[in-house]
Chains A and B, each alone.
Chain A
Amino acid sequence: MAAEGSNSIDALGQFQLHPALGAIGRSVNFTQSNLMMVVAGLAVLAFLYLGMKPRAMVPGRLQAAAEMGYETIMGMCTETIGGHEGRKFFPFVFTLFFFILFGNLLGVFPLFFTFTSHIMVTLALSLTVFILVTVVGLKEHGLHWFSYFVPPGVPVALAPLMVLIEVISYLSRIISLSVRLFANMMAGHVMLEVFGSFIVMLGGIGLLGYFPAALSLGVNTLLIGFELLVATLQAYVFAILTCIYLHDAVHLH
């Protein structure tokens, strides 16, 4: 947070990692990011366990939410990847979606840390997806899988160039998938920080600053709502892109 009266905004300081859980955390480099991952994982488990515990015919709010999550991801998998394979990959996509969703949403709360705002976390997630997609493609099709890089109906003269472009676009999935999630979460939190600093700085200059400070507070309130939208949307986009990549691996175009 920018101190009152200072005129520089420390927008990226909020992403600094600190050891969590006292001396034990310090000795094994267990940071607040890792702690949040554990919290997100436990929150997903608690959400699904408590949601499905009543097993009511007419679901309550929590059960309806859990069932809605299940049905949304199930529909996404079976529609995008295809019936049989979709059910096979459902657990992976479901886990990925809920881990990212809870990670994004936890970051909106005060005192919590958004672990998806670090590129190393999202890069690890997207590398997992990338390696899985490649392994699935090789397992399903063997060496025939490499025909994926030669688009059908391409003239022979253009083929080497097209193969090069296809390989680059295939490899750039790692970057685009990870940077999309990371940039969305980081930019959102930087915006919150910048407008939060505006409130403090404008409030500090006296009567003239109160109106713009109130305006910044309003903007910040709207941004929190927007962050909730972005958090859900990015988890959805990550999951559906994983499904699209898996479809490509299973069906080759």
Chain B
Amino acid sequence: MDVASAKMLGAGIAMIALAGVGIGMGTIFGSLVTSVARNPASRDRVFGLAILGFALTEAVALYALVIAFIILFV
């Protein structure tokens, strides 16, 4: 296997991290729906926390993306 194709494969494999991110995002917004359904009055407060959690989880996906870019281009 030459280096170029190994790089392509490596970048693809790095994207497996997105499985974990998907699970995390599902958990965050699933919990958001559950908690708002239980206590609709808490919506404003819980929504801010959910968005913070969303941003932190999304960052994990972007770490994987950066690693893929480093493999591909650097």
Contact = CB atoms under 8 A, between A and B. Distances in A.
Interface of A: 11-12, 176, 179-180, 182-184, 186-187, 190, 233-234, 236-237, 240
A27 B62 CA distance: 36
Given A186-B66, A190-B69, A237-B55, 8 more contacts: A11-B69, A12-B69, A176-B59, A179-B66, A183-B59, A183-B63, A187-B65, A240-B52
B62 A184 contact: yes
Interface size class of B (residues with CB under 8 A): 10 to 19
Contacts of B69: 11-12, 186, 190
Interface of B: 51-52, 55-56, 58-59, 62-63, 65-66, 69, 73
30 contacts: A11-B69, A11-B73, A12-B69, A176-B59, A179-B59, A179-B66, A180-B56, A180-B62, A182-B66, A183-B59, A183-B62, A183-B63, A183-B65, A183-B66, A184-B59, A186-B66, A186-B69, A187-B62, A187-B65, A187-B66, A190-B69, A233-B51, A233-B55, A234-B55, A236-B52, A236-B55, A237-B52, A237-B55, A237-B56, A240-B52
Nearest to B64: A183
- What is the predominant secondary structure among interface residues of chain A facing chain B? helix
